[in-house]
């Protein structure tokens, strides 16, 4: 039995070329906007500042057994919570609201992108209006998955804090942290893998299933799980090859983006230099250079997302082609498939001869 994850790589390339070529600036610009929301907007990592927990006034000369909390800082959970100012809570609330708004729009765009690939036409407003319900359901599902992961992480950290450090920051030492580090790494790695699989399969399989059937999100997931149980080998092969392809696409995207950044930067640097020296390096020059920098950032954002358009289209076409080959009733791309495989003989049917 052949592996569709291997066979469909070439077809995904053909489908991407068929969709994006000949080049149409309006179509590519629309897709760049969509890609910004579904994959170009960056991620949010709440643990990225965890390294800043240590104070600058820690006791000098301390070894591994010195407590990590500053002597004047609160050393209990209640003390830490009470030390948070109302202004900080407002900032955190506004940031959370911004993140939620971006996440909500990204869920709508997930359906816009999938429908654009399926229909091979891009209509932002039409697809947005037609997928309000789907977008809200996807948002609720992703939010639930994220909250479950967050609760598990918080529960684990709290359990470690209470059992290992007796609920007191004075007991948090480097030696104690290193003792729980292996367990913490395994725990968070498992959570990350499971959440990544759930959200990834939702994006590439469940979203197109919702568009091309009368099933909702949970119904589509139930149908997908049934297909996965019947075709374990095919889905595992897709998972392995999709990781490899994603890495390759990431490398290609990074290289092309770096080259594009350098090319885009040249005219902006030249304009900035002319303004700086022509206006006497004063306040007016700084103001105009600030505008130039802003325009450069916008141009760079546009270019990097344009680079991602064919790469993301390829990955999504690849997943949908595999889905349809593994389980034909779930095929979201029957018309695309028939077009790109027009010259291929049916299975068991001999190829046409080359005679007159």
Return the minimum-mean-pLDDT range out of 38-42, 92-96, 155-159, 254-258.
Answer: 38-42
Domain assignment present for 250: yes
Please write the tens of the pLDDT for every residue from 143-176: 999 999 999 999 998 988 888 777 777 777 777 7
Please write the tens of the pLDDT for every residue from 291-342: 999 999 999 999 999 999 999 999 999 999 999 999 999 999 999 999 998 7
Mean pLDDT across 91-108: 88
Domain assignment present for 74: yes
Domain assignment present for 53: no
Predicted confidence (pLDDT) at residue 40 exceeds the cutoff of 50: no
Predicted confidence (pLDDT) at residue 1 exceeds the cutoff of 80: no
Q: Domain containing 213: what range?
A: 4-43+62-340
Domain assignment present for 214: yes
Alpha-carbon torsion (11, 12, 15, 20), positive or negative: negative
pLDDT interval class at 238 (50, 70, 90): very high
Rounded Cα–Cα distance for residues 123 and 107 (Å): 16
Rounded Cα–Cα distance for residues 198 and 228 (Å): 13
CA 207, chain centre distance (Å): 15
Closest CA to 209 of 119, 111, 127: 111
Mean pLDDT across 22-38: 95
pTM given for the model: 0.79
DSSP assignments along 144-155, one per residue: HHHHHHHHHHHH
pLDDT interval class at 103 (50, 70, 90): confident
- Contact between 326 and 58 (Cβ < 8 Å): no
Number of domains in the chain: 1
pLDDT for residue 282: 78
Average pLDDT, the chain: 84
- Contact between 187 and 307 (Cβ < 8 Å): no
Half-sphere exposure of 247 (CA within 13 A, CB side): 5
Return the minimum-mean-pLDDT range out of 97-111, 138-152, 220-234, 273-287.
Answer: 273-287
- Contact between 336 and 16 (Cβ < 8 Å): no
Domain assignment present for 261: yes
- Contact between 35 and 308 (Cβ < 8 Å): yes
Domain assignment present for 56: no
Closest CA to 208 of 305, 343, 112, 287: 112
pLDDT for residue 178: 85
Domain assignment present for 82: yes
Rounded Cα–Cα distance for residues 91 and 69 (Å): 25
Domain assignment present for 209: yes
Please write the tens of the pLDDT for every residue from 263-285: 999 999 999 899 888 887 778 88
Q: Which two tokens stand for residue 303?
A: 């270019």
Mean pLDDT across 20-26: 94
Half-sphere exposure of 123 (CA within 13 A, CB side): 10
Q: Residue 322: is it exposed, middle or buried by C-beta count within 10 angstroms (0-12/13-18/19+)? A: buried
pLDDT for residue 312: 96
Neighbouring CB atoms inside 10 A of 168's CB total 15
Rounded Cα–Cα distance for residues 93 and 113 (Å): 30
């Amino acid at each position: 039995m052949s592996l569709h994850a291997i066979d469909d790589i070439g077809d995904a390339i053909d489908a991407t070329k068929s969709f994006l070529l000949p080049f149409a600036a309006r179509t590519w610009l629309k897709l760049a906007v969509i890609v910004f929301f579904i994959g170009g907007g960056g991620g949010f990592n709440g643990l990225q500042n965890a390294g800043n927990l240590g104070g600058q006034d820690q006791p000098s000369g301390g070894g591994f057994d010195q407590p990590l909390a500053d002597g004047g800082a609160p050393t209990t959970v209640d003390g830490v919570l009470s030390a948070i100012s109302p202004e900080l809570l407002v900032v955190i609330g506004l940031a959370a609201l911004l993140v939620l708004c971006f996440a909500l729009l990204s869920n709508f765009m997930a359906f816009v992108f999938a429908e654009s690939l399926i229909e091979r036409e891009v209509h932002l407003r039409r697809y947005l209006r037609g997928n309000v319900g789907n977008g809200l359901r996807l948002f609720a599902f992703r939010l639930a998955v994220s909250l479950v992961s967050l609760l598990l992480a918080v529960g684990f950290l709290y359990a470690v804090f209470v059992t290992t450090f007796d609920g007191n920051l004075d007991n948090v030492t480097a030696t104690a942290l290193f003792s729980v580090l292996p367990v913490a790494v395994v725990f968070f790695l498992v959570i990350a893998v499971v959440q990544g699989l759930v959200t990834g399969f939702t994006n590439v399989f469940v979203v197109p299933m919702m568009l091309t059937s009368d099933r909702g999100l949970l119904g589509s997931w139930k149908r997908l799980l049934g297909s996965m149980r019947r075709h374990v080998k095919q889905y595992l092969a897709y998972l392995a090859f999709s990781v490899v392809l994603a890495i390759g696409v990431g490398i290609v995207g990074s290289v092309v983006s770096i080259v594009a950044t350098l090319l885009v930067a040249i005219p902006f640097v030249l304009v900035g230099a002319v303004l700086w020296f022509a206006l006497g390096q004063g306040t007016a020059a700084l103001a105009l250079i600030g505008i130039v920098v802003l325009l450069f950032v916008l141009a760079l954002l546009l270019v990097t997302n344009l680079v991602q358009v064919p790469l993301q289209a390829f990955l999504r076409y690849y997943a949908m082609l595999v889905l349809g080959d593994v389980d034909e009733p779930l095929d979201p791309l029957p018309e695309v498939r028939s077009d790109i495989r027009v010259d291929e003989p049916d299975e068991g049917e001999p190829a046409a001869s080359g005679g007159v």
